[in-house]
Structure 1
Amino acid sequence: MFVNANHKKAQEFIDTKELDKALRHFAKALEEHPNNAQIINDRAVLYIHLQQEHLAMQDFNLAVELDPEYSYRYASRAYAKDFYGDTNGAIADYQIAVQLDPDDAVANNNLGILLEKKGYKEKADRHFAKADKVAKHEKHFEELMAQEEAEIAGEENTPKPENGVKLQPKKIEKEEELSKGKLVSKIVTDKSTFKEFVRFIKNGFKVK
């Protein structure tokens, strides 16, 4: 989440409303990692708190320029545009965000709200439906995660066979190390694969 210690400290000062200290730590964070889109995006949020619209939008624009394929950059800027009264600009950015990540429930919901405000009820309802569907899926996923983690914990605490034979978990793919995305695409249909996924997360996103 945080790029370096100064980035983390800056966010802590935002949380405690010590905004001048936060700004100084953002400057130090960028000295260590110049042109880092995440630090710049977070500093833009600080500028909103400081009521400095021009600097906030300047940072949001730069974050998008540095990280143009990441939907969150557009969603963040969209939120700021809406905050400052630029509804059309916010809609345009949310549309890009959901094109890049159709399963972003928050961006779909916020886009629906703005479209409804502009009178586009049918389009708004489509985005509300998408947001609701994704949110329900994510809730179901979280429930499955909790259930499978409990089962795995039980399995790990079960005494090992006396003959010393160790059962190997099935390989999901041959020698290839899997990305999180590849595993996520499999978990919803195969319970045993889902358990592999939970272990995968617990092992730091590495297949052992």
Structure 2
Amino acid sequence: MYINSEHKKAQALLDQQKFEKALIAFNKALKIDPNHPDILSHRGVLHLHMNQKKKCFDDLELSLRLDKNYSYRYAALAYAKDFFGDTDTAIELYEKAVQVDPEDSISHNNLGLLMEKKGYQQKAKDNFEKADKLAKIQDEMLDKLDELEQKEDQFHQENESKKTKSNPLPKPGEGLKPKGEPLQPKKLQPEVPKTFKQVSKDLITKKSVFKEFIGFVKNGFKLKQ
């Protein structure tokens, strides 16, 4: 989630609403990793909170140019455009976001809100229905992932317990090879294939981060008090 230590520091300061200090940290983060779309996007959100329209747009637009295949880039800029009063452009950007990722439930939902705001009730309804359906699927995926994690953790705990019982620690002096006896070379262990949980986490990143991100965007990029 964080590109470097200054990026992490900047996000923490942003969470604490220490905007000026967060800005200094974001600037340092960009010196370490120039023009990184994640850092630019997050700094753009900071400028939004500081009500700095041009700087907000500059960061979010550059972030989008650097990473055009990620729907969030369009959605973040769309939110900022609507925030500063340009609803028509925001609609176009949300439409682009769902073209890039048709399963982006948040963009479908926010697009529905803006369609409703403009008086396009049927289009708004269509987007709300898509958003609800996709959100339900995402929630089910996360629930399944929770279940699989619990089962896998339980399996590993039981396995470790069995190993401890079947192979107790040797008493002092036991299990030691006589002096001068050559040690047998260890056999190389085959690479263990990734579990479903690990593969799932590769696809949607850490579950906690995914939930945090979803909550952050659903809350209109508002920080927790």
Report TM bin, short chain: 0.7 to 0.9
Residue in structure 2 matched with residue 148 of structure 1 by the alignment: 148
**Structure 1 position 39 matched with structure 2 position 4:** no
When normalised by structure 2's length, the TM-score is: 0.71
How far residue 12 of structure 1 moved from its aligned partner, in angstroms, is 1.1
CA RMSD of aligned residues (A): 2.3
Deviates more, 1:141-150 or 1:1-10: 141-150
The structure number with the bigger radius of gyration is 2
Amino acid at match of 1:103: E
Q: Which has the higher contact order (CA 8 A, sep 6+)?
A: 2
Counterparts of 1:89 and 1:200, CA distance in 2:
37
Q: What pairs up with 1:54-65 in 2 under 5 angstroms?
A: 54-65=54-65
Residue in structure 1 matched with residue 128 of structure 2 by the alignment: 128
CA deviation map 1:112-164 (0-9, x unaligned): 1101111222211111111101111111112212222222233321437x8xx
How far residue 70 of structure 1 moved from its aligned partner, in angstroms, is 1.1
Counterparts of 2:69 and 2:200, CA distance in 1:
25
Counterparts of 1:33 and 1:151, CA distance in 2:
39
Residue in structure 2 matched with residue 4 of structure 1 by the alignment: 4
> Which secondary structure does the structure 1 equivalent of 2:90 belong to?
helix
Amino acid at match of 1:28: K
CA deviation map 1:141-191 (0-9, x unaligned): 12212222222233321437x8xxxxx9xx7xxxxx8xxxxxxxxxxxxxx
Counterparts of 1:35 and 1:25, CA distance in 2:
15
Counterparts of 1:148 and 1:49, CA distance in 2:
39
The runs of 5 or more residues in structure 2 that have no matched partner are 167-189, 204-225
**Structure 1 position 74 matched with structure 2 position 74:** yes
How far residue 83 of structure 1 moved from its aligned partner, in angstroms, is 0.5
CA deviation map 1:38-67 (0-9, x unaligned): 111111111112221111111111111111
**Structure 1 position 85 matched with structure 2 position 85:** yes
Q: Per the alignment, do residues 125 and 4 of structure 1 end up closer, same or farther by CA in structure 2, a change over 3 Å counting? A: same
How far residue 81 of structure 1 moved from its aligned partner, in angstroms, is 0.6
Amino acid at match of 2:197: V
**Percent identity between the two aligned chains:** 43
Residue in structure 2 matched with residue 101 of structure 1 by the alignment: 101
CA deviation map 1:82-137 (0-9, x unaligned): 11111101000000001111111111100011011112222111111111011111
Amino acid at match of 2:20: D
Q: Per the alignment, do residues 31 and 199 of structure 1 end up closer, same or farther by CA in structure 2, a change over 3 Å counting? A: closer
> Which secondary structure does the structure 2 equivalent of 1:133 belong to?
helix
When normalised by structure 1's length, the TM-score is: 0.77
Counterparts of 1:44 and 1:144, CA distance in 2:
34
The runs of 5 or more residues in structure 1 that have no matched partner are 163-167, 172-176, 178-195
Counterparts of 1:25 and 1:154, CA distance in 2:
41
How far residue 23 of structure 1 moved from its aligned partner, in angstroms, is 0.9
Q: Per the alignment, do residues 200 and 66 of structure 1 end up closer, same or farther by CA in structure 2, a change over 3 Å counting? A: closer
